[in-house]
Amino acid sequence: MPDLCAKCNKEIGKQQGYEYQDKLVCEDCYMDVLSPPKACDPWAVHSAQTFLKGKDKLSTLTPLQSKIVNYIKEKGEAPIEEIMTNLNLTEEEFRREFAPLRHMEVLRATKKDGKILYLLF
């Protein structure tokens, strides 16, 4: 008798199934219960799902984030003042975009001669 996923009833072998709360579920449903979508943070959900599918993390960037990444890629490294001037951003806007980029390990900051420089991770 085949094992069925407790959530979606898909046929699964014992080897491919995952135990979740004493029930056997398929891989898709297991991933679902591990990372339930949060309506309040669609960006995080989007990037988490993209990560699970193993896609290039750069493809999840917003146009503004891509602009920042491309600028820093071109320069090698850049201080915040230069990035703000060239991309026409306020410091607050830049920091808001930098946080997820740092989190995704796309960009990082480093201190050189007492100055903070931003560069690719």
Residues that bind Zn ion (CB under 5 A): 5, 7-8, 10, 26, 29
Tell me how far, at minimum, the Cβ of 34 lies from Zn ion, in Å.
13
Residue 101: what are its φ and ψ, rounded to 5°?
-65, -40
Q: Is the dihedral of CA 101, 103, 107, 110 positive or negative?
A: positive
d(CA 26, CA 44): 23
- 30 or 94: CB nearest Zn ion: 30
d(CA 29, CA 68): 36
- 28 or 91: CB nearest Zn ion: 28
Tell me how far, at minimum, the Cβ of 1 lies from Zn ion, in Å.
17
Tell me how far, at minimum, the Cβ of 22 lies from Zn ion, in Å.
15
- 19 or 105: CB nearest Zn ion: 19
